[in-house]
Amino acid sequence: MQYYKDVKIGKSDVTSTPLGLGTNAVGGYNLFPNLNDDTGVEVVKTALDNGIKLLDTAYVYGLGHSEELIGKAIKDYDRSKFVIATKGAHDFSSGHEVINNDPAFLTKQVDESLKRLGTDYIDIYYIHFPDDKTPKAEAVGALQKLREQGKIRAIGVSNFSLDQIKEANADGYVDIVEDQYSLLHQDDMAEMMPYLKENNISFVPYFPLASGLLTGKYDKTATFPKDDIRSSMDDFKEPRFSKALEAIDKVRGIASNHNATVSQVILAWYMKNPDISVVIPGAKKVDQVLVNSRAMEIPLPDKEYQAIDDAFSYFKVAKK
Ligand code: NAP
C-alpha cells in the first residue's frame, strides 16, 4: 500500500505520486550504451503498472526517441491516470547543439513533443536549460500561452540558478524546478529552497540515486566505459567515491530493518523529505522499477530518516 501521499505540482492542478520514473535511459542512446527499445517500453509500462504516476523525459534523451518510446508504452493506458513531464531547449538546427529558449522555438518544441508522445497535452513542460540571450520571463510567457491553449498544464525550469528562477518567475507562472540534488549533492538546493517555498514552486531532484551509486551495488573496484556518463562524474572519483561508499554502508542496517534494499530506503528518505515533491529514479531494467516502486510502501521513522541524513553529512557542504 502506498504510504507516501500524492503531491500537487506548484500552483497547477497536476498531481503525482511522490515517486516518478526518470527515463533518460529509455531511448537515451546518446547518454548510455547498449540500450534496448523493447526493454525501455517495458520499463515504462512496469512503472505505470506498479502505481508510479509520473514519467520524466526530455527531447534530448535520444533526440526525441525517449518521447517516442513513451508514446508507444502509454497507448493502452488511461491518459488521465498518469502525468508526463518533458523538457526542451536543445536546438540542433545549425548542425551542432545550441541551447535555445526563444519563444517561437519552445512553441515548436512543445508541438513536436506532443506528436512524439502521441498525446494532446503535456502535464509538465520544463525549459531544460537556460540560454544566455532570451529574457527568462519571455520564455516562460511562451509556455504560459501554451498552457492557456491547453497544450501544457504546468510550467517548469531546469538547471536554472536562483537568480534565473526569480527572473523566470517574474509573472508567477513557474510551478516546478528540476535540478541536480541527492544525498551526495545536498548543498545544491539549499540556496533556492526558501524562494521555492515562498512562491509555491515544487522541487524535483535529478540523479537521486547518484546514477546507481546510492543503490549500494558498487564497491571500490567499479569502472565504467568511456561512453557511459558515469566515467566522467565526480561522484565516482576520489575522495567522494570512498566517502559515498562509507555512508552507504551505514544505511545497510536501516534497509535490513525493513527487509528492504538500500535504494528503497534512500528513495523513502526523499519521499519523507518535505522539500522534495517527486523523486524520479531512472531505470534500465524492469526489475529496478519493480524494486524502486516498492519504496512507496516503506514508512521511514524519524530516527532512521535522521540517521540517513547524518550518514551523508560529509556531503552537506560543497566538496567536489
Ligand atoms: P539516477 O536516478 O540517480 O540513477 C538511475 C540508475 O541507477 C539507473 O539507470 C540504473 O543504472 C541504476 N538503478 C536504478 N534503480 C536501481 C536498483 N533498484 N538497483 C540497482 N540499480 C538501480 O540517475 P538518472 O536516471 O540519470 O536520473 C534520474 C532522472 O532524472 C533521469 O532519468 C532523467 O529523467 C532526469 N534527469 C534530468 C536532468 C535535467 O537536466 N533536468 C539531468 C539528468 C537526469 P544501472 O543499471 O546502469 O546501474
pLDDT digits (tens, 9 = 90+) for 34-63: 899 999 999 999 999 999 999 999 999 999
pLDDT confidence of residue 320: 41
Q: What is the pLDDT of residue 33?
A: 87
Q: Which of 3, 4, 29, 61 is catalytic?
A: 61
Could you give the angle at the alpha carbon of 87 between the alpha carbons of 85 and 88, nearest 5°? 155
Pocket lining: 212 vs ligand 1, CB cutoff 6 Å: yes
Atom 38 of ligand 1, nearest CA residue:
206
Mutational test site, ligand 1, from 217, 230, 288, max ligand atoms within 8 Å of CB: 288
User: Which pLDDT value is given to residue 186?
Assistant: 85
Q: Where are the domains of the chain?
A: 7-212+261-299
Q: How far is CA 101 from CA 39, 132, 143, 301, in A?
A: 33, 9, 10, 43
CA of 316 to the centre of ligand 1 (A): 21
Q: Which atom of ligand 1 is nearest to the CA of 213?
A: 7
pLDDT at 319 over 80: no
61 is a catalytic site residue? yes
Which pairing describes strands 7-8 and 15-16: parallel, antiparallel, or unpaired? antiparallel
Ligand 1 centroid to residue 135 C-alpha, Å: 31
Query: Cα separation of 206 and 120, whole Å?
Result: 26
pLDDT digits (tens, 9 = 90+) for 79-138: 999 999 999 999 999 999 999 999 999 999 999 999 999 999 999 999 999 999 999 999
| Atom from ligand 1 closest to the CA of residue 159 | 40
Q: Give the position, in ligand 1's atom list, of the atom nearest the Cα of 229.
A: 26
Protein residue with its CA nearest to atom 31 in ligand 1: 22
Q: What is the pLDDT of residue 229?
A: 78
262 C-alpha to ligand 1 centroid (Å): 15
Q: Which of 211, 228, 236 to mutate to test the pocket of ligand 1 (most atoms within 8 A of CB)?
A: 211
Mean pLDDT of the chain: 96
CB-based contact 181:189 (threshold 8 Å): yes
In CATH terms, the superfamily for domain 7-212+261-299 is NADP-dependent oxidoreductase domain (3.20.20.100)
Tens of pLDDT, residues 8-32: 999 999 999 999 999 999 999 998 8
Closest CA to 293 of 254, 264, 272, 252: 264
Residue 317 has what pLDDT? 67
Banded pLDDT at 188 (limits 50, 70, 90): low
**Torsion sign over Cα 78, 80, 86, 88:** positive
Nearest protein Cα to ligand 1, atom 15: 288
User: Which of 87, 92, 51, 86 lies closest to 70 in space, CA to CA?
Assistant: 86
Chain segment 284-294, per-residue pLDDT in tens: 999 999 999 99
Task: List strand residue ranges (DSSP E) for the chain, in order.
Answer: 7-8, 15-16, 20-22, 54-56, 83-88, 90-91, 98-99, 122-127, 152-158, 176-180, 202-206
pLDDT tens profile 194-236: 999 999 999 999 999 999 999 999 999 998 888 777 888 999 9
- Confidence (pLDDT) at 46: 98
Nearest ligand 1 atom to alpha carbon 208: 3
Q: What is the mean pLDDT of residues 153-180?
A: 98
Q: What are phi and psi of 74, to 5 degrees?
A: -90, -5
Q: Is the CB of 189 under 6 A from ligand 1?
A: no
pLDDT in tens, 65-79: 999 999 999 999 999
**Ligand 1, atom 27, residue with closest C-alpha:** 207
The predicted-structure confidence for 254-277, as pLDDT tens digits, reads as follows: 999 999 999 999 999 999 999 999
Nearest-CA residue for ligand 1 atom 25 is 282
Q: Is the CB of 147 under 6 A from ligand 1?
A: no
55 Cα to the center of ligand 1, angstroms: 13
Confidence label for 139 from pLDDT (cuts 50, 70 and 90): very high
